[in-house]
Amino acid sequence: MKPLKNKNQQKFQFKYMSPHIKSPKQVEYSITRSLSYTTTPLKEIIANYSEISQSNLCKKSFRFEWKKEPKNVLIIKKWKDEKTTKMAIELINYLKKLHLIVYIEPSTSNELKEGIPFTETQKSNLNELIDLLIIIGGDGTVLHACTLFPQQELPLLLAFHYGTLAFFSVFDFKEYPKQIKTVLKGNFEVTVRARLLGQVYSEEKKLKTEYECLNEFVISRDGPWLSRLDCYCDDTFFTTIQADGIIISAPSGSTAYSKSAGGPMVCPNVPGILFTPICAHSLSNRPLVFPDCAVITIHIPNTSRSESAIISVDAKKQGKLLRGDYIVITTHKFSLPCVNKINTNTDWVTGISAILHWNNLISQPDLQFRSFDHFENIENSSDLDSDDHLGSDDGRNEDLD
């Protein structure tokens, strides 16, 4: 089976002069990074005039600037949670004082209507309307909010937790006046979190459906037998997996299900796609990290014992792969910009330490070295044969009887 080639495949194009060619004067050149999966290729010049260094290639931080003053704010709160309902009412009143237009999710309107008046509206083009997305809740609420923007560019995300630190929700709700003022001014650091796009094709190479995820896609067995899955990278077959399933995750999802299955934890700034088998029937099977430009295809061969596999998207069951079907997974052209508390690296290492308690060792007392001065005193004593010197001064022989 040769999967259908994905026309949206991302490629890197490098233009350079060979460093092995010597000339009286070096020719000027540049290196261009081209993200060809977008409608209009985004080209970013990362080096000019023969200057190449790792600092050019490593993007430590991204800064966010408003081109126009933000006006429309969408608030998403944890569903059916009384505590976050009160917080949302407090936040809405504050935003109205700043003359901002506030939108709320229809499913939570009944929770808020008694605390604050609002006008119901149905908007299908949220990406063209919303300037700022504010979350009150944990990481699950953030994952839900992303589903409100299918195949759309996501607005800036500012996420608040209410006591329990989360990877996405890095701000305590008590800080909201300060953080909102900072965000409205602009010029702050953000983490650009990559998302994944999954396209399901039939054996006849017809597109059946599409899914989007921020954390991971999970292709898992749908029955008592192990899943048999053929795996391709850029249309090149590289292995057949016999396992409970496979997790294909974005860097943001590396601290979720993938970690539980033995996958590596990857900082969100690292561009990549994680490939983590679940309980593989092999001693040599190990997780992999592909570049973000890779096109990963998972196919159920007709020889598979199982008739289907379950597709889960960000911890929610969405559909099935039947025999002969395959799913093509690529990096999504629309990422999620998230406001940093400090910067991407610091926020991430703080998260794995505070949330996951990574390498949290139990403290041991300092090693105490025993002084041998008293032995010297014994040697210098003239009464060495006395019974007073039998046994230990620290009483370690007292309980021998």
Q: What is the pLDDT of residue 47?
A: 43
Mark residue 245 as left, alpha or beta (left: phi above 0; alpha: psi -120 to 50; beta: remaining): left
* 258-285 pLDDT, tens digit each: 999 999 999 999 999 999 999 999 998 9
In CATH, which of 3.40.225.10, 2.60.200.30, 3.40.50.800, 2.40.110.10 is domain 196-334? 2.60.200.30
Region of 57 please: left (phi>0), alpha (psi -120 to 50) or beta: alpha
Q: What is the pLDDT of residues 246-256, one digit of tens each?
A: 999 999 999 99
The pLDDT value given to residue 370: 66
Round to whole Å and give the CA distance between 34 and 10: 8
Q: Where are the domains of the chain?
A: 72-188, 196-334
Residue 366: its pLDDT value, please? 78
Catalytic residue among 81, 131, 139, 325: 139
Q: Could you give the CA distance from residue 47 to residue 300 in angstroms, rounded to a whole number?
A: 43
Q: What is the DSSP string of 259-309?
A: HHTTPPP--TTS-EEEEEEES-S-SS---EEEETT--EEEE--TT-SSSEE
Q: Return the pLDDT at 91.
A: 95
How far is it, in rounded angstroms, from Cα 325 to Cα 308? 9
Residues 393 and 372: their CA atoms lie apart, in Å, by 12
At 111 the pLDDT is 80
Cα(254)–Cα(260) distance, rounded to whole angstroms? 9
Q: Decide: helix, strand or coil at residue 134.
A: strand
CA dist 287 and 284 (Å) reads 10
The whole-angstrom separation of Cα 347 and Cα 340 is: 7
Domain 72-188 belongs to what topology? Rossmann fold (3.40.50)
Per-residue confidence (pLDDT) for residue 373, from 0 to 100: 60
Residues of the chain with pLDDT under 50: 3, 6-24, 26-27, 29-31, 35-57, 384, 389-393, 395-401
Q: What is the pLDDT of residue 9?
A: 43
Q: Is 230 a catalytic residue?
A: no
Query: What is the C-alpha to C-alpha distance for residues 159 and 145, in angstroms, rounded to an integer?
Result: 11
Tokens of 253: 């999802």
